[in-house]
Amino acid sequence: MPAYIDIKTGTGPIDNAGYQVAAYQQADKENPAGTIVYDDFLHKYTLDGNPIPGVTTVINEFFPFPVEFISEELLFNSSAYGSAVHLATSLDDQGTLDESSLDPLLHGPVEGWRKFKVDMKVKILQNEKIVFSRRRWYAGRLDRVIEWSTKKITRAVINLSDAGYKIIPLEKPADINVFNACTTLYNEKIRRGVL
């Protein structure tokens, strides 16, 4: 049975990760027709020119990340670092990572990801896959779909640190129900012109 994985870095909160990964899993199983266009710079999804809310956008509307005590610079740097880790691990999975050009700050998380893959006997099935739910009208980028030695866990965060990792299971059955309620309310707000 495949496992749906979200890659995180640092010590920040993962409270909403369960909703996020459950949403990706649901959309991946739906697999509707249509080509989603993703603008990496704006972090926006569209289908035939129509905007589609992203998973994190929907979640943050109802469960906002507490940023009032974080400087814009730190928030920007943390986001850029997380994106760089995602790119580096993705390239590593594809066998195209040029380690000579890798920022020294990324060596630890990449080594942690490699250690995780060896320790857990990971087989990558999907890498940074864009998923879309036509029925619920949302899209997102699923970090990884894997097969691994831990058959009991089907959704998890892999929190990478300097040459290490921590597996955080996300197995609350209600997570998808909470997310689906959020998408219903979010799309109703769009319909009413509130968003």
Q: Residue 147 to residues 25, 42, 45, 122: CA-CA distances in angstroms?
A: 14, 32, 28, 6
Pairing of strands 3-9, 155-161: parallel
Q: Kindly list the domain boundaries of the chain, sorted by start residue.
A: 3-192
Alpha-carbon span 157 to 169, nearest angstrom: 6
pLDDT tens sequence across 16-60:
888 899 999 999 888 666 678 898 888 899 998 899 999 989 998
Residue 161 confidence (pLDDT) above 70: yes
pTM, entire model: 0.87
